[in-house]
Structure 1
Amino acid sequence: MSAIMLERVEKSHPVQETPAMPSRVPYSRHLSRKMSTLVHLTRLVNSTRKLDQQLHLLLDETRRILEAEQAVFYLVNEERQELLIHFVWEGQLKRVSRPFGAGIAEYVILNGKVVNVADAYKDPRFQRQVVRLGETSPRSFLAVPMANRQGRTCGCLQLINKREGAFDQKDTEYLMIMADLMTMAIQNALAFSRTREYQRLEREIQRAVGIQRQLLPTKVPQVPGYEIFAFNQPSRHVGGDYYDFFPFPRTLAFTLADVSGKGVPAALLTANLHAFLHAFANEIDSGKEVVRRVNRHFYLYTSSDMFATFFWGNLNYHTHQFRYVNAGHIPPLLVHRNGTVEKLKSSGLPIGIMDSFEYQEKEISLEYGDMMILFSDGITEASGIAAEQFGKRRLLRLVEQNYYLSAKELGRLLISQLRQFTGSGQLDDDMTLMIVKRKLDSL
């Protein structure tokens, strides 16, 4: 069954007039037969999950039980304004289509009424130029509307040519039962299809999560005289935050980037950034040149509405000089040994906005106990239960009160406070935190 046909069960013509249900047959034999038929058909529907097989079985049984030459199921394809017609011929389920017109099936669908035509050629709604259903030559019709769970008519079930006599009220009752079962089969198939599609997408997302996690460092590098802590958590399985380390003979370079957007598009750009940086970053000592190349690459190979904030730093762990370039990222915090905090000011445009931009590289010296804290805006903009943001002030206060902790201890404390603040809610943005601290015990 095509996706359009399945979706049609959910999008159909509104019922303009709902027919009254036929009155009950007073004698128990007929009621018993109806119940037996219902149980039998329900078992048939449940015998397979394949919709085509269910339709085949139901059409075959409908034709057999009601002693008709043919049973036909019509489903409206609203997008193409046509009827999708299903019938069994020579042991196979056939599927054809015709433009939505003014025939008996269309009348039933548009008006939501049962139609019983004893002589097709005397009914003005009968279209002689119709799709030929095998070798059946129509003489009489019985058609009932099919409605989905929302009460909208989505198609009709039709019998052609009673083998003996004419279609009667009992036939109508049975056909309505079978129409309900057919509608149920289609809706169940749609639900099953959606479940399988969801499961498939979930598997794909988990693969994407695994791939993106492989792009991030599996462990922080060991640098003489320094402690390093790093943490990353995407908001939607995969995300647009990226951090990395690039070791040189006497220095350690590291980066933190925040790609605009969230989810899969942002994750694809972080993968692009990772590949580009690893292709050349280890060969360049100049932070300005690294950022210049990254900016041009982003500008040339991403859409105009995509950009990224980007911070690049290079720490000489022998001289304790730190050089950095900031392309629109939140200024990192520099926490001194005595607990005072300042921002590493220096900012240019985010990468990908302009083809060429002159970025500035700055340099500082790290004293014993000094600490740098880099973070993405997902940290400060994390929302609490009362829709209040975590905020820069709260972050700064926590740092000032706990500056004496090691990089790992402070990092774990900040993440713990963030999780407590946000509760169990969905993160609004990706969160990345990096802390680099010069050890006191190297005195």
Structure 2
Amino acid sequence: MDGKRQYLLAQPYSDGKGIDWLVVVVVPESDFMEQINQNTQNTMLLSLVALVVVIVLGMLTARLITAPILRVYQAANRLAKGDLGEQVTPSAIAEINELSNAFNKMSEQLKESFETLEDKVRERTADLAIANQEIITLNENLRKDNLRLGAEIDVVRQMQTMILPNAEELEIEGLDIAAYMDAAADVGGDYYEVLNSDGIVTLGIGDVTGHGLESGILMLMTQTAVRTLKESGEGNPVRFLDILNRTLYKNVQRINSEKCLTLSILNYANGQVSISGQHEETIVVRKSGAIERIDTMDLGFPIALDGDITAFINQVIVELQHGDGVVLYTDGITEACDIHKNIYGIERMCNVISQHWHLPSEQIKDAIIADVRRHIGEQKVFDDITLLILKRQ
């Protein structure tokens, strides 16, 4: 009617005394969709606020990093002009502090040399010129790399650490939970979450494509959206992942990014755990150490890759007896390579889990990570390593 969708209900009415009517009720769709649309707008607004906070934190952290570098650079210029008493104040950043200490020591040595050993002026002048050029070159290199090192490594890694569940949040009655995440040298976008509300424990684990600032921002937006939906009481896995996907998809389009992420959401209550969303396999471990691997390929679709993924979202219900549990991980573990390019593999991880399942979750986690580290050896770690273990007590 007038280009707007209506819902209609027709019912007959008769009183047996000659009245034979047909009662028709028409309700505009907008009457009951208004609140839903308003909630969607609120979710988008919260995500936008989170993005602004991330940008501000990034700018502040970048300034904290550049300030000590600039001081060293300025001190080097003054030293080159003959101010041998120049000193650089210590920095909270270990690498910059070492550079400052080295600079201050060099300045003191030069000052002593010029005051007490005039016959070595020419020799020290040559050394000073070489050292000064090295410092200028170092500062130029640091300034060129500052944006990437500051924004993509320090800022994002600090954000990842700050939003992770703390030790108190992992202490849930009736459950033994352990978690671990170690970001690679080039920051990625691994994500995990543990939320306990109204008797339902929600676990989330995901992996954003690629590395760098965009991946870290999408990971932070995911954490904010998941917590918002959890606090709003949304328990239906299809609606949960659908709202989450639409929110992140619009944000990714807004920042003109091609990033997306795999994400699994698990809800545990009263010995049952529901699994939904597409990510790595979910490993179900029985009390005896027996392993059951659940493929999540048909339980969802990559988040923020398409605007509507409801047709792909499904869930699996698993019963957990006392002593049973689940293990969640990212491909930073299973695809970890040694110096000969041999990958670690899920089978090896499952063997370690089965052998140590009689231990508390924290010790199981330590055993897995130690085995992965032994496999990697001296090889560089190229991806984030994330592990989440839940064990019913």
TM-score normalized by the length of structure 1: 0.54
The alpha carbon displacement at 1:207 in A equals: 4.0
Instruction: Quote how far apart the aligned CAs of 1:183 are.
Output: 12
CA distance in 2, matches of 1:428, 1:202: 16
Larger relative contact order (Cα-Cα within 8 Å, sequence gap ≥ 6)? 2
Deviations 1:95-148 (A, max 9, x none): xxxxxxxxxxxxxxxxxxxxxxxxxxxxxxxxxxxxxxxxxxxxxxxxxxxxxx
Residue 67 of structure 1: aligned partner: none
Aligned to 1:281: 230
Flag structure 1 segments of 5+ consecutive residues without an equivalent: 1-46, 55-180
Q: Which residue is equivalent to 1:414?
A: 368
- Residue by residue, what CA displacement relative to the aligned partner does 1:177-196 show, whole Å, maximum 9, x if unpaired? xxxx9999888644432235
**Structure number with bigger Rg:** 1
Query: Is 2:268 aligned against 1:315?
Result: yes
Helix, strand or coil: the match of 2:277?
Answer: strand
Note closer, same or farther for the CA distance 1:401–1:187 as it changes in structure 2 (3 Å cut): closer
Structure 2 residue corresponding to 1:244, chosen from 193, 197, 200: 193
On the 8 A contact 1:407/1:437 being kept in 2, the answer is yes
Query: Taking structure 1 as reference, are residues 265 and 425 closer, same or farther at Cα in structure 2, changes over 3 Å only?
Result: farther
Is the contact between residue 333 and residue 343 of structure 1 (CA under 8 Å) also seen in structure 2? yes
| 1:212 corresponds to 2:212 | no
Alpha-carbon separation, structure 2, partners of 1:50 and 1:411: 51
Which residue is equivalent to 1:295? 245
Checking the alignment, whether the CA contact within 8 Å between 1:287 and 1:313 is kept in structure 2 is: no
Is 1:50 the counterpart of 2:77? The answer is yes
Structure-1 separation of matches of 2:181 and 2:373: 13
- Could you report, residue by residue, the CA deviation over 1:182-236 in whole angstroms, capped at 9, with x for unpaired residues? 9998886444322355568655543442222111112242222210010001112
Structure 2 residue ranges without an equivalent (≥5) = 1-73, 82-127
Alignment partner for residue 194 of structure 1, among 136, 141, 149?
Answer: 141
2:350 is the alignment partner of 1:402 = no
For the 8 Å contact 1:333–1:342, the answer to whether it is kept is yes
1:254 aligned partner:
203
Taking the aligned partners of 1:374 and 1:281, their CA distance within structure 2 comes to: 20
* Alignment partner, residue 181 of structure 2: 232
Please give the secondary structure, in 2, of the residue aligned with 1:353: coil
Q: Which moved more, 1:257-266 or 1:428-437?
A: 257-266
Amino acid at match of 1:256: I
Matched residue count: 265
- Across the aligned residues of Structure 1 and Structure 2, the Cα RMSD in angstroms comes to 3.0
What is residue 221 of structure 1 aligned with on the other side? 170
Partner of 1:330: 280
Question: Given the alignment of the two structures, is residue 425 of structure 1 paired with residue 349 of structure 2, yes or no?
Answer: no
CA distance in 2, matches of 1:393, 1:350: 24
- For 2:165, give the aligned amino acid: P
- Give CA deviations for 1:34-64 in whole Å, capped at 9, x if unaligned: xxxxxxxxxxxxx98439x97xxxxxxxxxx
Q: Matches of 2:282 and 2:352 in 1, distance apart?
A: 15
**What SS class does the counterpart of residue 160 from structure 2 fall into?**
helix
In the superposition, relative to structure 1, how do residues 370 and 387 fare at CA in structure 2: closer, same or farther (>3 Å)? same
Provide closer, same or farther for how the CA distance between residues 232 and 184 of structure 1 changes in structure 2, counting only shifts above 3 A.
closer
Say which SS state the counterpart of residue 50 (structure 1) adopts: helix
Q: TM-score, normalised by structure 2?
A: 0.61
SS in 1 for 2:267: strand
- State how far apart, in whole Å, the 2-side matches of 1:186 and 1:412 are: 47
* Contact 1:236–1:262 (CA under 8 A) maintained in structure 2: no
Alpha-carbon deviations, 1:411-442, whole Å to 9, x = none?
Answer: 11001111111124321111110010112xxx
Q: Distance in 1 between matches of 2:290 and 2:330?
A: 21
Name the SS for the 2:308 alignment partner: coil
Mapped partners of 1:326, 1:208: distance in 2: 25
What's the counterpart of residue 334 of structure 2?
Answer: 380
- The one-letter code matched in structure 2 to 1:288 is V
